[in-house]
Amino acid sequence: MFIVKNRNIFFAITGVIAAIALALIAIFGLHLGLDFTGGTLVQATYSDGRPAPEALAQSLDTAGFKGYSLREANTSDYILRAGNMTPAMREALPRTLSIGGKSPVTIAQLTEVGPTIGTELRNKALIALGLVLLCILFFIAFAFRKVSQPISSWRYGLIALLTLCFDVIVPVGFFALLGSLTGVQVDALFVTAVLTILGYSVHDTIVVFDRTRENLRLNHEYNRREDFSETAGKSLGQTFVRSINTSLTTMIVLLVLFLLGPASTKDFALTLLVGIIAGTYSSIFLATPLLVAVEMWRGQK
């Protein structure tokens, strides 16, 4: 009941977090990867040990590369993500990566993505995100169709969507800041992580809503007169420990994956970690308090 009674405090905290995330997105923007903008992906393998990243970056700068991303991979590889290369840059790429022949290198992979394909992927990612949110709305409205009192089943769905928007804004804002500081780029794997966050977060929210629905049914069967805020607060308390424990175990796994996993999955794990923290917060401190606020507003109206 503490969370429900002090819902205005948590609404204010949520507003501040969302405002900061939106400001970060507006100020820094997202560093879109070659999946969305088009460009070149190069995996370079060094047989005698890879050179220092500073030396390789200097060689790339001298060769005319701009706005690229250089990441270590495995024990002897570098992953280079860059814009479209000119024929001269492509021809000189082995010498550039070997720093003038000082570090023998083999180009294990070279993939070019055209801007048309990048635009198509970006559009499909936005469509996928919209379809997921729409399907979640219809599913919740259908699942809660028999509990229309005191709140319509559609309102359960709309509140769940509102919390999901918060769950998306937070990791996107975080990556806007991270991209500005470290040059991390948003790619198709980031979109996969965001969709995963949506599924995880809505599952947590539905657990609380479902307990609320069950308690409303019991109140009706036993003819108990109870304020909706009391029923919602009790339902939240009954699922609080379960939500925290589930999220903590997931976050521990993701933290280990981020710290000890391969470089190719670090951004994916970090996105999931930030998103699940935001999703756990919104499921507990935002969704149910919003449900109570909507019911009180409806009652006053």
pLDDT of residue 155: 83
> Does the structure show a pLDDT above 60 at 102?
yes
Least confident segment among 135-139, 161-165, 207-211, 220-224: 220-224
> Does the structure show a pLDDT above 90 at 153?
no
pLDDT of residue 116: 60
Question: What average pLDDT does the segment 76-100 reach?
Answer: 85
What whole-number distance in Å separates Cα of residue 122 and Cα of residue 197?
19
Question: For residue 241, which amino acid is it?
Answer: V
pLDDT of residue 256: 92
From the CB of residue 240, how many other CB atoms can be counted at a distance below 10 Å? 13
Question: What average pLDDT does the segment 79-104 reach?
Answer: 84
Question: What average pLDDT does the segment 196-212 reach?
Answer: 86
% of the chain beyond a pLDDT of 90: 19
* Largest Cα span, the chain: 84
Question: pTM of the predicted model, to two decimals?
Answer: 0.80
Q: Residues 292, 4: contact at Cβ < 8 Å?
A: yes
Highest mean pLDDT among 28-37, 65-74, 157-166, 182-191: 157-166
Q: Residues 63, 89: contact at Cβ < 8 Å?
A: yes
pLDDT of residue 213: 82
> Does the structure show a pLDDT above 80 at 122?
no
Paired sense of beta strands 105-113 and 69-73, if any? unpaired
What whole-number distance in Å separates Cα of residue 118 and Cα of residue 36?
4
Q: What is the dihedral of CA 164, 167, 170, 175, to 10 degrees?
A: -110
Q: In what order do the strands lie in the sheet with 39-46?
A: 69-73, 77-82, 39-46, 105-113
Helix axes 188-221, 153-182, angle to 10 degrees: 150
First to last CA, the chain: 24
pLDDT of residue 20: 96
Q: Which helix (H) or strand (E) holds 69?
A: strand 69-73
Q: Which residue has the higher pLDDT, 134 or 143?
A: 134
From the CB of residue 192, how many other CB atoms can be counted at a distance below 10 Å? 15
pLDDT of residue 101: 77
Using left for φ > 0, alpha for ψ between -120 and 50, and beta otherwise, residue 251 falls in: alpha
pLDDT of residue 149: 64
Question: What average pLDDT does the segment 160-184 reach?
Answer: 89
Question: What average pLDDT does the segment 227-234 reach?
Answer: 84
Peptide bond into 150 cis (omega under 30): yes
Mean pLDDT over each residue of the chain, to the nearest integer = 84
pLDDT of residue 103: 84
Q: What is the CA radius of gyration of the chain?
A: 24
Helices (H), 29-91: 34-37, 53-62, 87-91
72-106 b/e (C-beta count within 10 Å ≥ 16 → b): ebeeebbbbbbeebeeebeeebeebbbbeeebebe
pLDDT of residue 226: 78
Give residue-wise pLDDT tens across range 250-283: 999 999 989 887 777 888 899 999 999 999 999 8
Q: Residues 24, 177: contact at Cβ < 8 Å?
A: yes
> Does the structure show a pLDDT above 80 at 90?
yes
Q: How big is the chain, counted in residues?
A: 301
What whole-number distance in Å separates Cα of residue 31 and Cα of residue 51?
26
Write down the residue that tokens 């509990």 correspond to. Answer: 147
pLDDT of residue 205: 86
pLDDT of residue 148: 56
- Output the six-digit token pair for 47: 């047989």
pLDDT of residue 131: 86
% of the chain beyond a pLDDT of 70: 95
Q: Which residue has the higher pLDDT, 231 or 14?
A: 14
pLDDT of residue 251: 93
